[in-house]
């Protein structure tokens, strides 16, 4: 995927598909859409009618959005949960201000700073099949649009100490790290935490774990990125390229006992090593598949460690609000590594695909 998607997105950037002139009337907005090209998609910048909220809805002027690995899979037409619907809006993560409210809305008012929740209909408690079908991106709920309209229940207020660019990084990666460590992992001060790589979920995990008094250990192929991680509070770092058996070094850093928590984002190449680094009674949050999703979970190894494994698919609005409270308490600011403008969306996708970033890639609208 790596080379092909960069090449295709570069072409899309050079050949922006525009369906209106560059002069925008007051009753139109600009939004990027997934334009079908056979079995895959390209990004198309289009003028569309400005949406208006129904009685229970809110209109939000989006000021910033952020990218996740999931978004690249949608361009490739490889995202399984609902797939990518043609001519719909990319990206699940965005923040902005309320510009209009429906007649029955009391939750927000014009001028409020808000972010969309990842699942528009998962508010609290356990998910349902119906609520998990409401993930934003690749559908009408996508955020890469100057204005979005959504049910008022599908938004949260954003912490006052964050910019729109910072707040836009929270809905997917931030909530995922929070749920994996605190809700499922029940993180405690002093826990050793293993974080794989320096993408969005892992860097959030580093910041959250350090703030909670845990001992985060993070891996990367870049010594420069590991140096940045130490500045953010990493207890230990390991270069997995120069140390192929990195799980042994991770275990050594814990004094031989192993890590209590793992945010497992690497997939089939990293899961076996992560379990080798796991402590007795530890917890592994299975999140991603950068090297391909692991299809076989080693049950016998987990049983031998009396350990637990959780499948993490983001979280609810209540989880997002709990994350925001923690960020506010500890004055944590998400790490935004690269910022692009609205017209540069294909370049932002290419930057995400390159892996040459630390934290999050953001588009400003």
Consecutive H or E run containing 200: helix 200-211
Same domain, 226 and 299: yes
> From CA 355, how far away is CA 207, in angstroms rounded?
20
> From CA 181, how far away is CA 57, in angstroms rounded?
33
Cβ(263)–Cβ(195) under 8 Å?
yes
CATH number at residue 20: 3.90.180.10
Closest CA relative to residue 12, chosen from 76, 82, 79: 76
* Count of alpha carbons within 13 angstroms of residue 203, beta-carbon side: 25
Same domain, 274 and 248: yes
Total domains in the fold of the chain: 2
Same domain, 6 and 142: yes
Same domain, 349 and 262: no
Query: What does the pLDDT read at residue 288?
Result: 73
**One digit per residue, pLDDT tens: the chain, 365 residues?**
444 444 444 334 433 443 333 333 469 999 999 999 988 999 999 999 999 999 999 999 999 999 999 999 999 987 766 668 899 999 999 999 999 999 999 999 999 999 999 999 999 999 999 999 999 999 989 999 999 999 999 999 999 999 999 999 999 999 999 999 999 999 999 999 999 999 999 999 999 999 999 999 999 999 999 999 999 999 999 999 999 999 999 999 999 999 999 999 987 788 999 999 999 999 999 997 554 455 577 888 899 999 999 999 999 999 999 999 999 999 999 999 999 999 999 999 999 999 999 999 999 99
> From CA 122, how far away is CA 110, in angstroms rounded?
24
CA dist 252 → 192, 237, 257, 279, 357 (Å)? 12, 11, 8, 12, 28
Q: How many CB atoms lie within 10 A of CB 21?
A: 9
Residue 57 covered by a domain: yes
Q: What backbone torsions phi and psi does residue 77 show, to the nearest 5 degrees?
A: 70, 25
In this prediction the pTM is 0.91
Residue 277 covered by a domain: yes
Q: How many CB atoms lie within 10 A of CB 267?
A: 18
Q: What backbone torsions phi and psi does residue 17 show, to the nearest 5 degrees?
A: -90, 105
User: In 3-state terms, what secondary structure has residue 11?
Assistant: helix
Same domain, 233 and 262: yes
> From CA 348, how far away is CA 340, in angstroms rounded?
6
Please give the residue range of the domain that contains residue 40.
Answer: 2-169+334-364
Query: What does the pLDDT read at residue 4?
Result: 43
Query: What does the pLDDT read at residue 85?
Result: 87
Residue 327 covered by a domain: no
CA dist 181 → 141, 156, 169, 194, 347 (Å)? 28, 21, 18, 11, 32
Same domain, 160 and 247: no
Same domain, 252 and 154: no
Same domain, 133 and 197: no
Residue 317 covered by a domain: no
Closest CA relative to residue 262, chosen from 343, 317, 338, 206: 206
Closest CA relative to residue 217, chosen from 244, 184, 254: 254
Residue 71 covered by a domain: yes
Residue 185 covered by a domain: yes
Rg (CA), the chain: 20
* The two structure tokens encoding residue 340: 């692009």
Residue 91 covered by a domain: yes
């Amino acid at each position: 995927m790596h080379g092909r998607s960069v090449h295709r997105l570069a072409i899309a950037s050079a050949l922006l598909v525009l369906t209106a002139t560059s002069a925008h009337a007051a009753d139109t907005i600009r939004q990027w859409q997934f334009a079908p090209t056979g079995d895959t998609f390209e990004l198309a910048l289009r003028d569309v009618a400005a949406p208006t909220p129904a009685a229970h809805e809110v209109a939000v002027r989006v000021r910033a959005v952020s990218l996740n690995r999931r978004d690249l899979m949608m361009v490739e037409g490889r995202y399984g949960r609902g797939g990518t619907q043609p001519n719909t809006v990319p990206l699940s993560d965005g923040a902005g201000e309320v510009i209009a409210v429906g007649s029955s809305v009391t939750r927000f008012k014009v001028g409020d700073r808000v972010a969309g929740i990842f699942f528009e209909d998962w508010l609290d408690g356990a998910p349902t099949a119906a609520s998990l079908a409401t993930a934003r991106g690749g559908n009408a709920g996508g955020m890469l649009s100057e204005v979005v309209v959504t049910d008022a229940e599908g938004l949260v207020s954003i912490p006052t100490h964050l910019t729109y660019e910072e707040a836009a990084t929270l809905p997917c990666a931030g909530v995922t790290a929070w749920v994996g460590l605190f809700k499922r992992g029940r993180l405690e001060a002093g826990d050793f935490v293993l974080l794989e790589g320096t993408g969005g979920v892992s860097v959030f995990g580093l910041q959250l774990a350090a703030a909670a008094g845990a001992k985060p250990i993070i891996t990367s192929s870049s010594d420069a990125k590991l140096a940045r991680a130490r500045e953010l509070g990493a207890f230990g770092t390991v270069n997995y390229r120069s140390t192929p058996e990195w799980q042994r070094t991770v275990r050594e850093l814990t004094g031989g006992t192993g890590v209590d928590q793992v945010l497992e984002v690497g997939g089939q190449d990293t899961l076996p090593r992560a379990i080798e680094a796991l402590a007795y009674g530890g917890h592994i949050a299975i999140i991603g598949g950068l090297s391909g999703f692991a299809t076989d979970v080693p049950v016998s190894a987990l049983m031998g460690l009396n350990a637990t494994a959780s499948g993490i698919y983001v979280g609810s609005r209540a989880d997002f609000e709990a994350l925001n409270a923690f960020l506010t308490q500890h004055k944590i600011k998400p790490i935004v590594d690269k910022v692009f403008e609205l017209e540069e969306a294909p370049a932002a996708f290419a930057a995400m695909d390159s892996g040459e970033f630390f934290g999050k890639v953001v588009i400003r609208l």
